[in-house]
Structure 1
């Protein structure tokens, strides 16, 4: 069965294509890659709380150990930032994380991290894919005991170094609801906040591989329980982590969702104005144009990349970067780690609110007055097949003129100063993602409606225009 590495490694449906046999194939290919490279520092393997994740982790650890690779295994389920941090801290050649991140419960997957803790480049995953054996290797007989390490402890020590403890002395009166969405992040953010004196109320913090019947993605539709808890306990804000802890979702004191672009803006302003840190700001193709305006008003350079944190990490390796962010709620701080970290992002946000001494919504209103407001929505259209179909972009979308066409990653139609719409195939799921930004909620709804009608008219038998998407 074919194994394809997408935006964040390889993901598949458990017992369909994500099987023990295929995990052994990936493990053998990774071991062969390291052998060809002459690398001898070994690998570190972590796993989340999904169904059979610990077993898949031991399977890949065993096959790589049988090939002569030194393997270090997490002693318990961890978040992806902990695996990434450990890869850099331990000086290994690769980090391997068993997780499907925010995907639905029936999925599992493998993320591969570089020696610096960031996502590996495309050439690495391409080489590993090229080295995949046609058939799965046999299960190693009587493998040596794999070294198990407290990767969570290594990571938490690193996070503590990034926190301004003095600011948290002003957070003693704050109440924060932390929603782990039944994922691997349970105990991380809640524990650190409590350690710094914040009153914490934890919800959905028990292990549940079914994630309560929904996907552990911290978007508005999945955070109604968090909003309800914030209102119930009269909390100051609510923070949610995705299934493997590298993405952050936020609701304000009214239980209302704060979209990822505004969270990006909040973190950016805090780092620059309160922390006094400067550097390039990196955003992905689907992220709000407000970030460009804010960064440039602060005298910071802005870089735009294709979607996927590996593209942000590539820039971080070349120049001093303050932070990188994605529409998906992934924020990275390269002074700490060359990968996304939802836990540190949550801590920094609480630090900001504590320092400002006012509700999160008030801070957002002030930023809106300074940088303007834009509304943003994302629509996911399920697909069954994606055959290639070339299409020409339109000159108009509904009543709006298309003033520019961009194809950095997908097909983006700019609509003058009225906003934009982006069509892009997901790199991890069989869906067409449609992103739109406009001046008002009504405008965004109109843009999405017109965009959906246009793209569906171009789809034949559920084919998607692959030339641009």
Structure 2
């Protein structure tokens, strides 16, 4: 019943996301922590940091976790207010905690909730850890779960209740060129999408003397009836707000604020790919940083062009931010990111952070002395342009079996040559990726967070990308 994907364990509330399953998962983690205690210098179990977002049951489930951990003798710091998932990751690192738990389903629909697990340093749990945890939890029953009563957990000496986010916010403020932002007198519109980023982003930007207005800030566990994911189709209200107010840009974040989407001064949606490339170029060109970049297999190759222009390397890894953060640590990369909207920068947490990314983009615009639309136009003039299209297709269990057999076992692919696209190579390490000789590419893989088959295609022109993506959809009868 409990299975980790690329972004933690996520399940439908009342179906698989239940009190019983949350308790089982946390008991499994507590067992692991107590086994590891023997290898710690003091012989005591390591601390766990717990945070939660504004989803239905998130705060309640966080305290379910506390009750289990206390019963197992594990010390806990709970950030007892809705907060960005990056806050939990930063606090794990800051407190030198053994693990972190964030109760969130990130950008999934409102009927989902879930749990993300973080390792020492605040990084996403890797596959070895989540596989071992999943296997152990599968051996447990409700009778194996140890728990204390709620009032015992709330008064336990093992529990530290943290209300402040200021340590995390100050860490971001210290990394920004606040003076440059302050004197640019920027106007920003924020769209937390009924999630948790409002307090954090507003505090940072007001500190930098920006004029800030906010939409969709109330607590709504249904997220206004939309996906809490800042895609082009979900930020229409933000676009209107930016244009009506004459703002310099708009920033939208997903439900737990680890991803972002951007509207520029002309009302155009900047994709996460474009934001990632803009920030990498800014750090190299204007900030004088040096080092490689890391992206996953479904993220823009324009990042590679920027790296190459500066004598650097861009590394490709599988989908899942844990792979990005691991490669960044290995190569001392400047930036790492993914096309779904998550990125991080060297020296910050080893995980995606929409609050820091949005703040850094504001700094980049302020430092340029131009509008965001002009800043991106200049980047295209220097590095060229690549256009990405994507599709997401649902399926039944039977259909998934058929697609798995046909695509990933039989390697039955469309005839891309009929479109005039010559194939350079094909990899099968994480789904399927086809590289074309014109520098374009396409990926086909199952989502690690939702029951979807995802198709990404990036080409020199939109027509080429659309043709490849449509050919894939037609060939497999996807809809």
- TM class, shorter-length: over 0.9
| Separation in 2, partners of 1:171, 1:344 | 19
Report whether the alignment pairs 1:229 with 2:241.
Answer: yes
1:129-168 alignment runs, 5 A limit: 129-132=134-137, 133-136=139-142, 137=145, 139-141=147-149, 143-144=152-153, 145=155, 146-150=159-163, 152-168=165-181
> SS of the counterpart of 1:168?
helix
Moved more, 290-299 or 144-153: 144-153
Task: Find the residue that maps to 2:390 and give its secondary structure.
Answer: strand
The question of 1:10 aligning with 2:9 is answered: yes
Q: Quick check: 97-106 or 407-416, which moved more?
A: 407-416
Change (3 A) 1:15 1:335: same
Matched, 1:171 2:180: no
- Secondary structure at the aligned position of 2:124 is classed as coil
Shift of 1:138: 6.1
The answer as to whether partners of 1:116 and 1:338 remain within 8 angstroms in 2 is yes
Tell me the SS of whatever aligns to 1:84. Answer: helix
- Give the drift of 1:360: 0.9
1:10-52 CA-to-partner distances (Å, cap 9, x unmatched) read 0000000000100000110000011111252210111000001
Q: 1:419 to 1:371 in 2, by over 3 A?
A: same
Q: Tell me the C-alpha RMSD between the 2 structures.
A: 1.6
Name the counterpart of 1:433. 454
1:315 matched to 2:315 = no
After TM superposition, give the deviation of residue 139 of structure 1 in Å. 4.7
1:52 to 43, 52, 57: 57
Task: Give the Cα separation in 2 of the matches to 1:280 and 1:68.
Answer: 43
Q: Which secondary structure state, in structure 2, belongs to the residue aligned with residue 171 of structure 1?
A: coil
Residue 359 (structure 1) shift: 1.2
| TM alignment of 1:75-94, pairs within 5 A | 75-94=80-99
Q: How far off its partner does 1:87 sit?
A: 0.2
Unaligned runs of 5+ in 2: none
In 1: Cα distance, 2:120 partner to 2:327 partner = 16
Whole-Å Cα distance in 1 between the matches of residues 173 and 367 of structure 2? Answer: 18
CA–CA separation in structure 2 for the residues paired with 1:404 and 1:83 = 40
**Aligned CA distance change for structure 1 residues 193 and 319 (closer, same or farther; 3 Å):** same
Shift of 1:335: 0.4
Work out the CA distance in 1 between the residues paired with 2:371 and 2:335.
24
1:270 aligns with 2:282: yes
- CA deviations 1:134-176 (Å, max 9, x no partner) are 322365335342320135222112111111112113321x211
2:208 and 2:456 map into 1 onto residues whose CA distance is 38
Separation in 1, partners of 2:441, 2:475:
14
**Matched-pair contact (CA < 8 Å) for 2:238–2:250:** yes
| Counterpart contact for 1:51–1:209, Cα < 8 Å | yes
TM-score calculated relative to the size of structure 2 = 0.92
Q: Does 1:367 align with 2:366?
A: no
Aligned length: 456
Residues 1:215 and 2:227 are matched in the alignment: yes
Partner of 2:32 in structure 1? 33
Hey, what does 1:295 align to over in structure 2? 307
* Secondary structure of the corresponding residue to residue 120 of structure 2: coil
1:402 corresponds in structure 2 to 423
* Partner Cα distance (2:439, 2:342) in 1: 26
Structure 1 contact 421–451 (Cα < 8 Å) conserved: no
8 Å Cα contact 1:395/1:401 also seen in 2: no
Question: How far, CA to CA, are the matches of 2:182 and 2:23 in structure 1?
Answer: 49
Paired residue for 2:103?
98
Encode CA deviations 1:260-299: one digit per residue, 9 max, x unaligned. 1111111001111111111221111001111101111111
1:241 aligned to which of 244, 253, 257: 253
Q: For residue 396 of structure 1, report the CA deviation from its aligned partner.
A: 2.0
